[in-house]
Amino acid sequence: MNWFARKGYLQGVFWIVLVCLISNLNDILMRLAGTRLPSMQISFFRFFFAFLTLIPFVIVRGKEAFVTAQPGFHFLRAVLGFGAVAFWCTGVSKAPLAVVSTIALTVPIFVLPMASLFLKEHVVWQRTAATLAGFAGILIIIKGTAGETSLLNSLYHLDNGSIFLIAAAILFALSDILNKKMVHQESSLTMLFYFAAGTSLFGILPAIFVWTTPTLTELLYLFCLGAGGNLILYFLLKAFAATDVSALAPYRYVELIFATFFGYILFQEIPTDITLIGAAIIIPSTFAIAYYETRQQKKQA
């Protein structure tokens, strides 16, 4: 069997790292488009172009792409997805890229208890410890970014952009749980199609009220944003089909590495000492859980 088609811990890690990479690229596109276009319009086009890029695959698959036994869950996914991306677009347009990437890393903190509560996954202490260690690294970065003397002051003085981003992170975590719950009963194309169609419908009205005609360059950004959104969800579904969602939670922190690289290359943003200290906590915690999960998989083989 092809390695990429197998189920297993390493396959799950591979797909979740791709999620982190494409997610960072999409954040960059949102920032570029958001210099002139309203957040709600960016959200709509992101979903609309995601829908358009799926049509050829739906035509090839035929009626099978529309078959679902869980229409209610698809509706809920669309509601959560639209809310998450709308909040995220708003936050990206208001907050520095370093803050955006840092808050993106809070998703695993919300995912871990949700996986235990809603999916009844057995969350071992090693996963919890690795995720909490990563969260400690994030708190250090937040403190340095806000420039306050204490962590409580840093959290209290979060700007509006950060508040939108945190709200989005909670909705993304709920979406992750719902995706994991559905992925073994629905095809990836069916899940992608209903998500893109539903979120596009939700986005039309808000976009009309703030409409600004995009330039050709902005349309290119938005098209890539939509295609990237499909890739993120597809890779996420592959990851969740391969292994437990709680096992993958610490790997969301890999996004910090990509964010630091792209921030420096594209925006000349040099990581502060505080950011590097936080990363020095986050990265080892990720490798520690990788080592543990690999050993567990070998024992079970």
219 pLDDT band, cuts 50/70/90, is very high
pLDDT reading at 188 higher than 60: yes
23 pLDDT band, cuts 50/70/90, is confident
Do 253 and 195 touch, CB atoms closer than 8 A?
no
Q: Residue 29 domain-assigned? A: yes
Q: Residue 7 domain-assigned? A: no
Sequence-distant (≥ 6) Cβ neighbours of residue 48 within 8 angstroms? 200, 203, 226
pLDDT reading at 150 higher than 60: no
pLDDT reading at 215 higher than 80: yes
Q: Residue 132 domain-assigned? A: yes
Averaged pLDDT for residues 188-207: 87
Q: Residue 4 domain-assigned? A: no
Distance from C-alpha of 210 to C-alpha of 207, rounded to nearest angstrom: 5
64-68, 145-149, 165-169, 225-229, range with greatest mean pLDDT: 225-229
Give pLDDT, residue 41.
92
* pLDDT tens per residue across span 224-256: 999 998 898 888 888 878 877 667 767 777 777
Which residue range(s) make up the domain with 181?
Answer: 19-300
218 pLDDT band, cuts 50/70/90, is very high
- Residue 233 CB neighbour total at 10 angstroms: 22
Q: Residue 14 domain-assigned? A: no
Give pLDDT, residue 156.
46
Q: How many domains does the chain have?
A: 1
Q: Residue 94 domain-assigned? A: yes
**To the nearest whole number, what is the mean pLDDT of the chain?**
78
* pLDDT tens per residue across span 268-299: 777 667 667 777 776 677 666 666 665 665 66
Q: Check residues 141 and 239 and name the one with the higher pLDDT.
A: 239
Name the amino acid, one letter, at 177: I
Give pLDDT, residue 216.
95
Q: Residue 157 domain-assigned? A: yes
Q: Residue 12 domain-assigned? A: no
64 pLDDT band, cuts 50/70/90, is confident
